[in-house]
Amino acid sequence: MGPNTLIQVLQDERLLSGESASSATLKLLTGGFWNKVYRLRTVDKLGLDWVVKQFVQVPVNPMFPILPEAEYAALQFLQGRACAPNPVAFISDSPAGSLLVYEYIRGSSWDGGLAGAATLLARVHRIPVDAFARNAFRQLATEPADLLGHAQRMLDCHATAVSDSVRALFPSGALQIKAPVGRPSLVHTDCGPGNMVSSPEGLRLIDWQCPGIGDGLQDVVTFLSPAMQILYGYPVLTQEQEQQFLQAYFTALDAPATNTPTVQARLACTRAAHHYRFAAYCAMRLQDTAGSDEKTSRLYSVALAAELQVLQQLHIQGQDA
């Protein structure tokens, strides 16, 4: 389906008037792993500046599933909270497939500011989960045993030495940990630096295509994950940078409704399980793409090596038991 089809769909859905449609231009944006994302602009009196996300049919990703309705719900839930783009509309079925339309955020990719990234995540995680959120989003695994079980299922996709290299660092002590989530949060789950946009109004999170309700620390570990930094083309954070991020996050999170010391303790208890799951995902993806996309497979190989190094460090520090 070409740009003209997309514009026609938006006109048929009464999102574009005839005047707006005739002056509209679509530009394909780069950076997305799966879906096609366009910037739509009009030169009529409305001067529209939107993103049109066209969802594609791909095999279900066990770590980052594509959930179009949930992405629209996330933008609705976050509207007016200075966290994400403002939604315009969601079209579940059209000749161009499922489409999500939201306001374009003028800005650039994440500028490397750790305090800004940490504060943004804390702002999302402080929002109380209401009935709308409970009904709109999936429930995420939060306990170490469940996270490790998910990792094992991904490793079982390939009976190879690569999968065994991850199993060798299985944090068995994490199975005994019981650290309940104090207050559930909306979790982005894919909050790598490539999904942060630095705008004049501040940092914003985009690509909410696989959100869920769960433990906000999942986003924290995701951002700190060396695999996520590598996959989005950024250098792995140093220990000093990591501590800077965590300090800013817990400072911004601190509120009467948040027991920050408990959240800090939970991070120490659950971190190894999260990194083990990331390692399992990288092992699965590098093997899934080995015969069809050598460049992607090599990238995941580098990301896996970085995650294994973190697991080794946590083992030495005694944080995997």
Report the chain's terminal Cα–Cα distance, integer Å: 52
Q: What's the mean pLDDT in 274-290? A: 97
pLDDT recorded at residue 118: 97
CATH of domain 3-104: 3.30.200.20
pLDDT recorded at residue 2: 67
pLDDT recorded at residue 175: 82
Sign of the dihedral through C-alpha 84, 88, 93, 99: negative
Rounded (10°) angle between helices 260-288 and 144-155:
10
* Residue in 72, 67, 98 with CA at minimum distance from that of residue 85: 72
pLDDT recorded at residue 51: 96
Residues 68-102: pLDDT tens digits?
A: 999 999 999 999 999 999 999 999 999 999 999 99
Spatial distance between the Cα atoms of 71 and 35, rounded to a whole number of angstroms: 13
Spatial distance between the Cα atoms of 123 and 290, rounded to a whole number of angstroms: 39
Question: Tokens standing for 78?
Answer: 């976050």
- Other C-beta atoms lying within 10 Å of the C-beta of residue 125: 24
pLDDT recorded at residue 32: 62
Rounded (10°) angle between helices 217-224 and 239-253:
160
Residues 26-46: pLDDT tens digits?
A: 999 976 667 899 999 999 888
Spatial distance between the Cα atoms of 303 and 166, rounded to a whole number of angstroms: 13
Residue 79 and residue 87 in contact, taking contact as beta carbons nearer than 8 Å: yes
The pLDDT confidence band at residue 255, using thresholds 50, 70 and 90, is low
| Domain layout of the chain by residue ranges | 3-104, 109-316
pLDDT recorded at residue 70: 98
Residues 96-142: pLDDT tens digits?
A: 999 999 999 999 999 899 999 999 999 999 999 999 999 999 999 99
Return the minimum-mean-pLDDT range out of 91-95, 265-269, 299-303: 265-269
The pLDDT confidence band at residue 59, using thresholds 50, 70 and 90, is confident
Spatial distance between the Cα atoms of 35 and 288, rounded to a whole number of angstroms: 19
pLDDT recorded at residue 1: 56
Residue 44 and residue 25 in contact, taking contact as beta carbons nearer than 8 Å: no
pTM equals 0.94
Q: Check for a shared fold between 3-104 and 109-316.
A: no
Sign of the dihedral through C-alpha 65, 66, 69, 74: positive
Residue 202 and residue 69 in contact, taking contact as beta carbons nearer than 8 Å: no
Domain 109-316 has CATH 1.10.357.10: no
Residues 130-178: pLDDT tens digits?
A: 999 999 999 999 999 999 999 999 999 999 999 999 999 999 888 877 7
pLDDT recorded at residue 4: 81
Residues 195-236: pLDDT tens digits?
A: 999 999 899 999 999 999 999 999 999 999 999 999 999 999
